[in-house]
Structure 1
Amino acid sequence: MNKILLGLKSLLVLAVVYGCGPAKQDGAEANVSFTLQESDLPDYEKNIDHSGLINALGDRHGESIRTGEHIYNNVCFNCHGNPEQVGSIPTAFKFWEDTFKVGKDPYSIYQTLTRGYGSMPPQVNLTPVEKYDIINYLRETFLQKDNPEQYFDIDSAYLAGLPTGSTKGPEPKEFKPWAEMDYGNFLINTYELVGIGAPERERSTGPVQPLKDENFVNNNFAYKGIAVRLDQGEGGVAAGNAWMIFDHDLLRVAGAWTGEGFIDWEAILFNGKHNISPRTVGDLHFENPVVPAWANPATGSFEDPRFMARDKRRFGPLPREWAHYKGLYQFNDRVIVSYTVGKSRILETFGLETTADQPVFTRTLNISPSDKPLKMRVAPKGTSVALVGEGAVLKEQGGFVVMEVAPSQAAKIKLLMGKPGMTGLQTYAQTSSAPESLELLTKGAPARYPQRLTSEITQGTQDGPFQVDIMNPPFDSPWKNQFRLSGLDFYKDTNKGVICSTDGDVWLVEGFTENTGKLSWQRIASGMFQPLGIKVIDEEIFVICRDQLVKLHDFNGDNETDFYESFNNDHQVTDHFHEFAMGLQVDKEGNFYYAKSARHAREALVPQHGTLIKVSKDGLKTEIIATGFRAANGVCINPDGTFIVTDQEGHWNPMNRINWVKKGGFYGNMFGYNPPTDSTESGMEQPLVWVERDRDQSPSELLWVDSKKWGALNGKLLNLSYGYGKVFVVPFEKLGDQVQGGIFELPVPRFSTGVMRGRFNPGDGQLYLCGLSAWGSTQPQLGGLYRIRKVEKPMTIPVGIHATKYGMKLSFTDLLDAGSVQDISHYTVKTWDLLRSRKYGSKHYNEQTLTVTKAELDKDKKTIKLTIPDIKPTWGMEIQYEIKNKEGSTVEGLVQNTIHQLGEDSAW
């Protein structure tokens, strides 16, 4: 069978919208609004022998079906499921019962796969052969049997009418960018440690939501696992043959293993799998259970005091006074972790030695004097353990080999560890080198990534008030980085900035304001756990990761990070794939804020699931500000000290929502931790707007315009779109305690990635955006960097909205033509309701078209008053208009909004 080209989930998922009604049966309709234009396609797509590829399916039928099934089950099944099992996105297209929108014949489906349509992303990493294999599998497995009306009969006339060509495109090839990237010699993630012959994972599934909890009490998860490569060689942790994992919640070595292959890469941000965490691959030499490694110095007890979840597992770090992870030093390919136990400071590094062709795993510890005796569980009884050095002894206690350290004296020791039953370890310990001093490795090291990479800036020349510059990263990097960019910020020297990627990197980027047409990129940090926000404070870099808030330190002036300080690691991390730590903002007092997503289709296990979180300026305190979020993609701090947090359509969320957040507020997700008893709308805070999925499939972070160069938009609110790669302005009003409003799409081209984060550069006053496609975006490119420049042309953009008992007011940036405004035929106003429930999303209910009886231009010449006699509060409203500005140019637009209350307007 051909090797399968497996891209990321966002690139291979067969998407939410395939349709309802064919465009035509002999090929996709020319006027279908595909995501990609024909000019965006690779040249070979213009010369494909479609008839030949379809005919060949008969000759290689078995192979083709197996190939299509492999793609579907490994990637597409995540969202789409099958007739017996609902996918993780219940609204995703169901091939066994739904109706195609773009056409049901193979070529039409091919066009949808190739070019994308609606929420369906273009499958840029599938070859033509593979696309027809997946089409063949869908037709033979689902359509012919369960959905025969959508099964198209192929005949000679149909084949003769297909576009002609002479090639079948490039050959399929194995493609696993997540496994080929050089992450550096460590990578922090959640890992499950298993040995050879481990049983299949337990994964709860089914149509009833929330899904039940699996029984993972006895599974060895390192929820904050620092995986360190121990053998020598290039390529980083993914290319190694021997590893150890240090769990910085419990300050334990979770285990060590060897083999061909690092992990199985089963995870949403690796191979795209949902509801799963990666497992180790190979021979597990020893492991420790998920309990504290060090006894409480005050009591001598190993009893775990941490928060116990509903499923009887415990999560989060140990109490600071007991033990606390301080951070990670990098010295060449060495990793040195720093932590405290009681009042003792400990430096620890990991290594690999060999005796009689058997691997010996080493732990070197430098332990400062303690005021109390210290005890550490090294490994379960039976594991081969030896000790080199002075200041500690090994004993057996409670089923473990335990290291005891006497008080009031420093200890420098090396532990040697091997498989149970390993022979000769004690003899080998007599000749093993003495434990080294680690302090010398904490002062800075030569750069591990000395190369400076360069990328070109493509200057935008679009018509209209905005021009977009493409500033793509150097995708041909020597470390095969995916550049899934997830956050950016600028230094005081605004020509320089820092950008993080969800693959674990931070880049120092220069060239933003010098206008040389180029950017330089320096990799200054790597190996972190899914960074999704970054902030520069007094020239110091802070990064929010899934496991901790990290402060980066450069000790020797080469810009590269020598110490990854754990500024705050109060994060409660479970094995669930969905609990991203999103965005990073800082208030005027210096406190930090980020949003933590909840578990998907499951009830929360820990209080932090689905919350807005505050970290104190000194990093010592964590506080939950608001609850009830499902997938909260980022934080915006408002001028009045409140917040805005977006959320995504799903269970208990009938549609996407933009939330103006109050402290202590609950925002609707009844699967959250300890939700209120009232599950109705009155039991939650209402959003600023319910965002219709056709407008934006997945809103990300909002920000306030802070630039005089943006004219009338200065001081206004913008919303970024991860789902569709757009930017919206958010007009709103406040009636009593309720903020309500809508969204309007800025007239800029859709970006080739989902847009995650944005910052205005104080140097040039323009908006810089970074984005990625990793889960659920329709946009095909893995990562991108962009600049939106405001130019001196009229905008005519709605920036104000007011709902009154008489109708709607829309205020624009520019003067309008009174004659065009007064023609009521230039407006269409529609409304609808939604149903909020435990089910995923909602269809429209009670759809109506409201009559506009009068339209007039207010005295400011920028505000339209639409008299709408039947207006009332509504979940969703769309106002379409076609007017002219003062210069006489026609302006078309659509505002999508929500009305919670109708205000008074005595001057109407």
Structure 2
Amino acid sequence: MRISWAVLLPGLLLVAAVCRPAPAQSPGSEMDYGPALCHTITFRLPADPNAPGWPGAVTRTMNADLPGDAVLCYDMDRLAVAGWWRGPLIDASRTHLTSYKGGLPPRPGAKPAYENLESPGWKADSDALQLIGYHQHDRQVVLEYHVDGRQVLELPTAAGPCFCRTLAIGPGEQTLRWLPFHLPGATVALGDDLSAVASGDLPLVAMLQGDTEKLAWKFADDQLELVIPPSQETRLLSLWFREGDDLPGLEETAQANPPQDPAKLLAGGPRRWTDVVTQGTRAKDDAAYVVDDLRVPENPFGSWMRLTGIAAFPDGRLIATTLSGDVWIVSWPHTTAGDDLSQITWRRFAVGLYEPLGVQIVDGLIYVRGRDRITRLHDRNQDGEADFYENFHSAGQIGPSYHAFLFDLVTDAEGNFYFARSGRKAPSPGEVVKVSPDGKQREIVATQMRHANGLGAGGPHNWVLVADNPDGKFPSGASIVRPGKRYGFNGPRTEPMLYILPPKVDTSSGSQCWTDAKRWGPLGGVIAHTSFSTSQMTYVMVQDSKPHPSGFAVQFPFPFKSGVMRLCVSPLDGQLYVAGQRGWDTNAAIDGAISRIRYTGKKAYVVTGAAAVKAGVELKFSCPLDPESVDYDNFYAERIGAGVKEIEIDDVELLDDHTVLVRIPDLDPAAILDKRSTRNGGEQEYLVLDPLAIEFRIKAKDGVEIKETVYATINGN
């Protein structure tokens, strides 16, 4: 948890101006990340922090927090040490870790004694290097990877001024070439005792300990290389090193600390985090749909509880992720008579992940979409905390800028995973990516999205939905993800939006999901849509119109405490759970919240279906209507977006006691077509029109008033 606020990086003259110390009370400033933190680390401040990338930024690091304020920063792509220092773990000033809108990634927590920002950690083809993951055992971390098919377990540690990397190298017929140090311009003396003394810009001493038979050092092209011959057995060796020229002191430290076998740390260690208990609030059953509050805790770990992902186990437990890298398991008593929210237990399950913005549960295992990878979490000793952080999928370039997020994680009926990549200030045109169920194959499915914070998957057609963050360029809402289609950011749109929401309803969308068709009352089977900006939710009814489906959206009547961003349906109770946070571009009142939208069984007075027909729009209600209230004067229509344009209504007709026809002339589904795009045989492009808002104030047959607005996106009939 050792965090600093401003560190002078080499070659920078404006650090003090750019990295002002954050106040001591900054959220996240005292967070304990456990034995390792994954993140981008930039060793140089960029000329343009909004650039897709810059020299000096190592985008996939794992920073091992070692004894004695020592830190080893691993580049997990190159399987190399990118740097080491003594002092705080990171400089977190002006980052997402300590502010609502950080402008920079973390920097080293102190001036690095060593840097290697480009050279590989092993002399091997890139496809011969495979990161398997890393293990946590109490405050220790063990990396697991393969080099030319041979397993390597690596345990970093430190003692006094000395660092140590202990390797357990598995059997294999391949000769391995380890490159532990990149020493430009150095002169290196290699001893018969397998010591190495480097002089130059970085005076350094190093020595080997353990099973060193037939090992040999080489120094060429600024690389210190250890040649490791084939072996029929696992080889255990430690590399001790420190800055300076005190080789006797290094040898003394090494002799006092014999090699520790990393393999003995893989089965899981003792629990580190105590449970935290909160008292939730169950709403009164005074309406058909009510909102329960699952209170988010303050905690003794300094964890900033900005919730960014949610998923549910079959037994009703929830998984919640936080922007700062935690995964929590949330549970409370369930009985056949109902549940009890008076005692909600929060268990810290995993720590130190890189901006988790999506989570799924598949076959009982938790998958987390961080910026660096999809991590599959394992609890080896079944003590309620993750011990093994498996690298399930990490293909593709990522960016260091504050805006280069990777969003959400959903699965389709075939078990494929989907996530979105930001197209703004990022090395991506804005994409939805599909990953095979085994994590080995990836496919860019759709492109040209600005900042698609939310996805949804499911429904009767097994659709995948994507909701972009428009920033005023075009309206909020969602579209169906179709292979090869483009979605309008910095280019044309070749797939129409399924539904469009005006700015007063949503300006920054989150995820979507389909509600439980059997257990969520009259709104079972609709699409639930989240708005991070307005802290509101909308439900969407879909018409299977031709040539494209149409969407009809209605805003739920209740606000939420936080910017709702992720949601799921619990397999246990069939209810809708939503998680949110506070950041920029939201009116959220608190940093994080989990709410449950619960169907009580009470009578509902809601729109349950909508369809565009030749004569206008049909609206179906959950209750019988008062015929006298279904009158022309009680309905109003307009196109609503940046401006408002009134739309003529010819008449309103009660078709049956649950269904109203709003007669609107000249509703033309073809209006969404950009006819210019096909003049020369090009692909059909689509316009984004303001939604048709149909407002009404009528009564149910029992006298209850129904006042609502339906936002219609008509793509066919």
Q: Please, what TM-score do these two structures have when normalized by structure 2?
A: 0.86
Q: What is the aligned partner in structure 2 of residue 177 from structure 1? A: 27
Q: How does 1:422-501 map to 2 (within 5 A)?
A: 427-428=251-252, 431=255, 433-449=257-273, 451-461=274-284, 463-475=286-298, 477-494=299-316, 496-501=317-322
* Structure 1 equivalent of residue 345 of structure 2: 520
The answer to whether the aligner puts 1:858 opposite 2:655 as a matched pair is yes
1:544-693 matches, within 5 Å, as 544-600=369-425, 605-606=427-428, 609-638=429-458, 639-650=460-471, 653-670=473-490, 679-681=491-493, 684-693=494-503
The match for 1:330 is: 136
2:46 aligned to 186, 197, 201, which one?
Answer: 201
| Partner of residue 230, structure 2 | 407
Note closer, same or farther for the CA distance 1:500–1:643 as it changes in structure 2 (3 Å cut): same
1:698 aligns with 2:520: no
Shift of 1:661: 1.5
Deviation at 1:173, TM superposition (A): 7.2
Q: What residue number does 2:677 align with?
A: none
Q: Cα gap change, 1:291/1:807 in structure 2, threshold over 3 Å: closer, same or farther?
A: farther
Alpha carbons 1:286, 1:379 under 8 Å: kept: no
Question: Which amino acid is 1:756 matched to?
Answer: M
Cα 1:513–1:487 change in 2 (3 A) is farther
Instruction: Find out whether 1:830 has 2:638 as its counterpart.
Output: yes
**1: CA distance between counterparts of 2:600 and 2:711?**
26
Q: Give me the identity figure in percent.
A: 28
Q: How does 1:244-283 map to 2 (within 5 A)?
A: 244-260=72-88, 262-283=90-111
Q: Deviations over 1:43-66 (max 9, x none)?
A: xxxxxxxxxxxxxxxxxxxxxxxx
Cα contact 1:730–1:799 (8 A) shared by 2: no
1:546–1:571 CA contact under 8 A, matched in 2: no
What does residue 418 of structure 1 align with?
A: 242
Is the alpha carbon distance of 1:525 and 1:337 closer, same or farther for their aligned partners in structure 2, counting shifts above 3 Å? same
Contact 1:698 1:722 in 2 (8 A): yes
Q: What residue in structure 2 maps to residue 52 of structure 1?
A: none
Q: CA deviation at 1:882?
A: 0.7
Report the residue type matching 1:862 in the other structure: H
Residue matched to 1:387: 207
1:745 corresponds to which letter in structure 2? Answer: Q
Match of 1:789 in 2: 598
Q: Are 2:166 and 1:364 equivalent residues in the alignment?
A: yes
CA distance in structure 2 between the aligned counterparts of 1:173 and 1:647, rounded to whole angstroms: 34
The DSSP-based 3-state class of the residue aligned with 1:688 is strand
Deviation at 1:813, TM superposition (A): 2.4
SS at match of 2:549: strand
The answer to whether 1:377 aligns with 2:377 is no
Q: Give the counterpart of 1:711 among 512, 521, 530.
A: 521
Indicate how the Cα distance of structure 1 residues 618 and 820 shifts in structure 2: closer, same or farther if over 3 A, else same.
same
SS at match of 2:633: helix
Distance 1:781 1:490 in 2: 23
The aligned counterpart of 2:678 is none
- Aligned pairs for 1:757-776 (under 5 A) are 757-776=566-585
Structure 1, residues 489-523: CA drift from partner, whole Å, max 9, x if none? 232323x2322222211222221634232111211
Give the AA of the match of 1:399: D
Rounded to whole Å, the distance in 1 between the matches of 2:640 and 2:587 is: 25
- 8 A Cα contact 1:454 1:518, kept in partner: yes
Match of 2:149 among 340, 343, 367: 343
**Is this contact kept in 1: 2:60–2:372, CA < 8 A?**
yes
SS in 2 for 1:439: helix
Q: Secondary structure at the match of 2:708?
A: strand
Report the CA distance between 1:647 and its aligned residue.
0.8
- Alignment of 1:190 onto 2:36: no
**Contact 1:328-1:338 within 8 A present in 2 as well:** yes
Asked if 2 retains the 8 angstrom alpha-carbon contact of 1:462 and 1:468, the reply is: no
Whether the aligned pair in 1 keeps the contact of 2:49 and 2:104 (CA below 8 Å) is no
Match of 1:223 in 2: 59
1:725 has 2:535 as partner: yes
Aligned length: 655
Pairing 1:742–2:548 present: no
Distance 1:569 1:231, change over 3 A: same
Q: Which residue in 2 is equivalent to 1:120? A: none
CA positional deviation for 1:810: 2.1
TM-score (norm 1): 0.68
> Is 1:286–2:114 an aligned residue pair?
yes
Amino acid at match of 1:184: G
Deviations 1:728-774 (A, max 9, x none): 11023233342222321122x21111112222223223222221113
Question: 2: CA distance between counterparts of 1:340 and 1:73?
Answer: 40
Amino acid at match of 2:635: Y
Residues 799/248 of structure 1: CA separation in 2 closer, same or farther (3 Å cut):
same
- Report 1:143-182 matches (<5 A): 174-182=24-32
Q: CA–CA distance in 2 between the matches of 1:73 and 1:706?
A: 49
Q: Is the 8 A contact 1:405 1:411 kept in 2?
A: no
Task: Tell me what 1:836 maps to.
Answer: none
Q: Displacement, 1:870? A: 4.9
Once the 2 structures are TM-superposed, how far is the Cα of residue 883 of structure 1 from its aligned partner? 0.9
**CA-to-aligned-CA distance 1:343-372 (integer Å, 9 cap, x gap):** 110011111123xxxx22221111113322
Alpha-carbon shift at residue 701 of structure 1 (Å): 1.0
| Unpaired runs of at least 5, structure 2 | 6-16, 187-201, 672-688
- Distance (whole Å) between structure 2 residues aligned to residue 888 and residue 736 of structure 1: 37
The match for 1:504 is: 325
Q: Which has the higher strand share?
A: 2
Label 1:361 to 1:759 Cα distance change in 2 as closer, same or farther (>3 A).
Answer: same
Question: Helix, strand or coil for the counterpart of 2:487?
Answer: coil
User: Unaligned stretches of 5+ in structure 1?
Assistant: 1-5, 7-71, 76-171, 195-199, 206-211, 233-240, 298-317, 671-678, 834-842, 904-908
Distance of 1:466 and 1:712 partners within structure 2:
10
- Relative to structure 1, is the Cα distance of residues 737 and 425 closer, same or farther in structure 2, using a 3 angstrom cutoff? farther
CA distance in 2, matches of 1:346, 1:258: 26
Q: Secondary structure at the match of 1:731?
A: strand
Task: Tell me how far 1:463 sits from its aligned partner.
Answer: 4.2
**Helix, strand or coil at the partner of 1:663:** coil
Q: 1:766 to 1:513 in 2, by over 3 A?
A: farther
Per the alignment, in what secondary structure is the counterpart of residue 819 of structure 1? helix
> Which residue type is aligned with residue 331 of structure 1?
H
| CA pair 629-894 structure 1, distance change in 2 beyond 3 A | same
Could you say what secondary structure the match of 1:589 adopts? coil
- Alpha-carbon spacing, 1:487–1:832, altered in 2? closer, same or farther (3 Å): closer
Q: Output the CA distance in 1 between the equivalents of 2:510 and 2:418.
A: 15
Alignment partner, residue 885 of structure 1: 700
Superposition deviation, residue 689 in structure 1: 2.2
Aligned pair partner of 2:711 in 864, 872, 896: 896
Partners in 2 of 1:513 and 1:663 — Cα distance? 42
Shift of 1:327: 0.7
2:363 maps to a residue whose letter is: D
Q: Tell me the SS of whatever aligns to 1:759.
A: strand
RMSD: 2.6
Quote how far apart the aligned CAs of 1:871 are: 3.9
Asked if 1:811 is matched to 2:620, the reply is yes
Of 523, 535, 552, the residue aligned with 2:360 is 535
Distance 1:505 1:331 in 2: 17
